[in-house]
Structure 1
Amino acid sequence: MKPLNARLCTILMLVFAASACNNDLDEKIYSEVTEETYNYNNAYQAMSIGYATMRSLISHTHYYMAQESTADAIVMPANASGWDDGGIYKRMHLHTWNSENPQVNNMWNSFYSGVVNANRLIDQLNSGKIVIPSGVTQEALVSEMRVVRAFFYWMLCDNFGDVPLIVDRSNELQGKTARKDIYLFVVKELTDAIPNLSEEKNTLLYGRFNRWAAKTLLANVYLNAQVYAGEAKWAECLALSNEIIASGKYKLESSLSAPFVTENQNSQEIIFAIPFEENLAGGFSAHMFSWHASLKNKVNMLATPWGAGSAKGVPQFINTYDADDKRLTATWMTGPQFAADGITPLKGSYDQAGKNVVLNNALPDGLYTGEAEGYRMNKFEVKTAAMGSLGNDFPFFRYSQVLMMKAECLLRTGKANEAATVVSEVRARAFTTKPAKATVTAADLQKGSSYEYGYVENYKVVQPGNTVAIQYGRMFDELGWEFAWEGFRRRDMIRFGVYTTKSWLSHKPNGEFRAVFPLPQIAINSNPKLEQNPAYQ
Structure 2
Amino acid sequence: MVMKFKIYIKYIALSLCAIPLLHSCTDLEIEETDSLIKESVGGSGFPGLSDPASSLGDLYNKVGGDFQTQENMFALSEVTTDSYVVPTRGTDWGDNGVWRQLHTHTWSASHLFIKNSWNGLNQNIFRATEIIESDGSAQTEAEAKFLRAFNMFFVMDLFGSVPFRGVDEGPEIDPMVLSRSEAFDFIETDLMEAMPDLPDGSPGIEVTGTATKASASFLLAKIYLNAHIYKGNEASDNADMQRVVDMVNSIEAKGFAIEEGYFDIFEPTDDSETIWHLSAEVGPRIWNTLHYNQNSPDNTGGGWNGFSTLAEFYDMFEGAPNSNYVGDGQEERRGWVPDPSNANDENLGIGYGFLINQQYDTDGTALETRQGQPLSFPKEIPSLVGNTEVEGVRLIKYHPYDPTDTEDSESPLVNSFRRHQVLFRFADAHLMRAEAMMRMGADATEMVNELRRLRTDTPDLSGITEQDLIDERGRELYIEFWRRNDLVRFGQYTDPWSLKEVTGDETKVLFPIPATALLSNPNLTQNPGY
Q: Same fold (TM over 0.5)?
A: yes
Instruction: Give the corresponding residue for 2:314.
Output: 318
CA distance in 1, matches of 2:87, 2:440: 40
Give distance in 2, aligned partners of 1:519 and 1:237.
30
Task: Identify the match of residue 362 of structure 2 among 336, 340, 353.
Answer: 340
Distance 1:425 1:346 in 2: 39
Partner of residue 427, structure 2: 400
Q: Who is 2:491 aligned against? A: 497
1:413 aligned to 2:440? yes
1:445 partnered with 2:464: yes
Q: CA deviation at 1:39?
A: 6.2
* 2:251 maps to amino acid: I
Counterpart CA distance in 2 for 1:167 and 1:346 is: 59
Greater mean deviation of Cα atoms: 138-147 or 472-481: 138-147
Q: Which residue of 1 aligns with 2:125?
A: 115
1:184-204 per-residue CA deviation (whole Å, 9 max, x = no partner) reads 111122122212221143666
Q: Is the 8 A contact 2:423 2:480 kept in 1?
A: yes
Q: 1:68 aligns with which of 78, 89, 104?
A: 78
- Partner residue, 2:301: 304
Q: For residue 422 of structure 2, give the secondary structure of its aligned residue in structure 1.
A: strand
How far apart, CA to CA, are the structure 2 residues paired with 1:325 and 1:528?
Answer: 52
- Secondary structure at 2:453's aligned position in 1? helix
- Separation (CA, whole Å) in 2 of partners of 1:175 and 1:533: 16
SS at match of 1:206: coil
Q: Which moved more, 1:390-399 or 1:488-497?
A: 390-399
Query: 1:227 and 1:38, CA in 2 relative to 1: closer, same or farther beyond 3 A?
Result: closer
Worse-matched range after superposition: 239-248 or 99-108:
239-248
Alpha-carbon distance in 1 for matches of 2:482, 2:310:
16
Partner of 1:359: 377
Matched, 1:482 2:481: no
Q: In structure 1, what is the equivalent of residue 32 of structure 2?
A: none
| CA shift for structure 1 position 510 | 5.4
Give the TM-score of the pair, scaled to structure 1: 0.77
- Contact 2:277–2:423 (CA under 8 A) maintained in structure 1: yes
Residues 1:239 and 2:261 are matched in the alignment: no
Q: CA deviation at 1:267?
A: 2.3
1:535 is the counterpart of 2:507 = no
Matches within 5 A, 1:367-386: 367-383=385-401, 384=412
Aligned mate of 1:49, from 49, 53, 58: 58
Q: Report what 1:6 is aligned to.
A: none
One-letter amino acid matched to 1:90 = R
Rounded Cα–Cα distance in structure 2 between residues aligned with 1:203 and 1:71: 30
- Between the aligned partners of 1:344 and 1:520, the Cα distance in structure 2 is 49
Instruction: Call closer, same or farther: CA 1:197–1:340 in 2, change over 3 Å.
Output: same
Distance 1:273 1:103, change over 3 A: same
- State the TM-score, normalized to the length of structure 2: 0.78
Give the match's secondary structure for 1:396.
strand
How much has 1:283 moved relative to structure 2? Answer: 6.9
Give 1:506 deviation, angstroms: 2.9
Q: In 2, distance between residues paired with 1:268 and 1:394?
A: 15
Residues 365 and 506, structure 1, Cα contact 8 Å, conserved in 2: no
C-alpha distance in 1 between matches for 2:399 and 2:226: 30
Extract unaligned runs of 5+ from structure 1.
1-33, 131-137, 277-281, 447-471
Q: Select which of 72, 83, 99 maps to 1:89.
A: 99
Mapped contact 2:81–2:103 kept (Cα < 8 A): yes
The residue type equivalent to 2:474 in the other structure is: G
Give the equivalent residue in structure 2 for 1:227. Answer: 229
Gaps of 5+ in 2: 1-38, 40-45, 320-329, 336-351, 402-411
How many residues are treated as equivalent by the alignment?
Answer: 441
Q: Tell me: CA distance 1:489–1:507, structure 2 relative to 1, closer, same or farther (3 Å).
A: farther
* One-letter amino acid matched to 2:231: A
Deviation for aligned residue 1:306: 5.3
Secondary structure of 1:331 counterpart? strand
- Post-superposition Cα deviations, 1:142-184, rounded to whole Å, max 9, x if no partner, equal 1221111011110100000012134636333214321111111
2:285, 2:396 within 8 Å by CA — same for their partners in 1? no
Q: Report the alpha carbon displacement of residue 229 of structure 1 after superposing the two structures with TM.
A: 0.7
> Does the CA contact (< 8 Å) of 2:275 and 2:426 recur in 1?
yes
Q: Deviations over 1:311-345 (max 9, x none)?
A: 1111111112111312112422222112222x222
Instruction: Look up the SS of the partner of 2:294 in the other structure.
Output: helix
Q: What is the DSSP-based 3-state SS (H/G/I as helix, E as strand, rest coil) of the residue aligned with 1:209?
A: coil
Secondary structure class of the residue paired with 2:217: helix
Letter in 2 for 1:192: E
- CA deviations on 1:399-432 (whole Å, 9 max, x unpaired) are 111111111111111111xx21111111113234
Q: Mark the CA change 1:510 to 1:88 in structure 2 (over 3 Å): closer, same or farther.
A: farther
More helix by share: 1
Residues 1:99 and 1:403: Cα distance change in structure 2 (over 3 Å): same
Q: Deviations over 1:73-115 (max 9, x none)?
A: 1111101251010000000001011111111011111101111
Partner of 2:348: none
Q: Return the alpha-carbon distance in structure 2 between the equivalents of residues 303 and 224 of structure 1.
A: 43
Q: Write the letter of the residue equivalent to 2:477.
A: F
Deviations 1:249-281 (A, max 9, x none): x122210111212x23x22210001123xxxxx
Counterpart of 2:220, as a letter, is L
Q: Tell me the residue number matched to 2:8.
A: none
Partner of 1:27: none
- Structure 2 partner of 1:473: 467
Letter of the 2:265 partner, please give it.
P
Measure, in 1, the Cα distance between the counterparts of 2:361 and 2:168.
54
The one-letter code sitting in structure 1 at the alignment partner of 2:262 is L
Whether the 8 Å CA contact 2:128–2:145 is kept in 1: the answer is yes
Q: In the alignment, is the contact (CA less than 8 A) between 1:57 and 1:110 conserved in 2?
A: no
Amino acid at match of 1:300: P
Flag the structure with larger Rg.
Answer: 1
